[in-house]
Structure 1
Amino acid sequence: MSVRYEERGHVAVLTIDRPEARNAVNGDVARGIEEGLDRAEASGVRVAILTGVPPVFCAGADLKAIGAGEGHTLSTERGGFAGVTERVRTVPLIAAVDGPALAGGTEIVLACDLVVASETARFGIPEVKRGLIAGGGGLFRLGRVLPLNVAMEAALTGDPIDAPTAHRHGLVNALCAPGEALEAALALAERVAANAPISVLESRRLVADTAGLSEAEAWERTHAAAARVLATEDVKEGVRAFIERRDPVWTGT
């Protein structure tokens, strides 16, 4: 099985398990990631983590599969490349990156909501070195999380960005020691999972969907989301727990 799925409490962990191929994306990986995200959405977990068996997060598209005429299998109808780059989802997704995440590997990372990386991580879209372009979202997403001139240099030179630089410019949320990316991502996931599930869902959606909207449109969506949250049982529980000086017990309703 090219993608392993497990649940640890409120957190689902999807692991690309093709170390012999540097966790490159073939048809099995694309389907496995999509199926794992389906399971996470259906199971009621509050956060999902996507990682790869070290020492590589993901080397991008499997060129052997492309050479064999199987390039179309590297994407899914709903998820795009690797079953995730165009995926519409509600569960927050954290990338846990140990080692290189290059080409399509970087595009997978950019499709996630949060990024934890070890000091051995590297990010880059080297497609121009092969006469290609980064067609899995890297060319427009990289400039959303990095300063435009830094993203432009990465796109035009194809040279990688090391983890400390990616962290300094905001691509990486948390930097950790080599071999500790998954544990650090689990710690971050628990911080997210400790909050009210519907509040997290609505907050994620607003942050993701309103960046390019006018202020009037953003306010309209914010008011609608706030009304949905205020109608939940969890908001009552949150207030009660605060007054009673205890941890809230969320039901997701």
Structure 2
Amino acid sequence: MDFPDAAEPTACLTRPDVPEEFSDPLLAITAAGDVFSPGGWFLKLAELMLTKDPVEWAQEQLAGDWKAYAGCSQAWRNAGRACGAIARNVEAGSKRVDATWDGHAAEAAIDYFEALRKNLDDVQDALDTMAEEYRVVTESIARTGQAIGGCIGAIIDALVSLSVTTAASTALGWTGGAAAMGYALGAMEAQVILMEWERMSVLVNAAQLAMNASYAVMGRTGGEILARVHALPLPRTSYDHPAV
């Protein structure tokens, strides 16, 4: 009896591509630090208040090959589709066997193949869950990088204003009310810098919590996949019909 495949599992196992909507979080951070040519100098000024260069700190916190990480989502999904294709082949073959083979052995075989098909479908669902969690983490980090880039831009703007105010007060010899106003403006800009730095820390902590939650799901799902793989042992020997 011929058992033509209903699907081609290997066709699903293609090299994963990076999603079109992928956004590297480090690019947003680097771009924010390069807005002004003297940006590096301004960021060194920030270290006087923050003890760290905000761009370098952000790059350290979000370091990683996020492009490859984004591709992992499709790799898991492709593996799931391959399992689904194998399930379709098992189902198609089982139906052909059921149409021509009767008896207790046939019933046992059909039950086994049906359990195997369901097992493969469950594995596909678990692999799809893994793919989704990788996607969620990638998008979360990308949004974090963009938000932090905005914080760094605000810090640089405040540093520019602070530098201009300080330079003007010195060059013009401000005294009295003018000097007080200059100091007030400087204090406001310093407050902006500290607030944006605090916001950066909050953003990184939130991203870490989101990643930890996804990793917990991945760990649990990975355990489920292994359990499914071992739940249905392969037959020890091939079936040998006594009448053949």
Which interval holds the TM-score relative to the shorter structure? under 0.3
Scaled by the length of structure 2, the TM-score of the pair is 0.20
Q: Which has the larger radius of gyration?
A: 2
- TM-score, structure 1 length as denominator? 0.20
> Higher helix fraction: Structure 1 or Structure 2?
2
Indicate the structure whose relative CO is greater, using CA pairs within 8 Å and at least 6 residues apart: 2
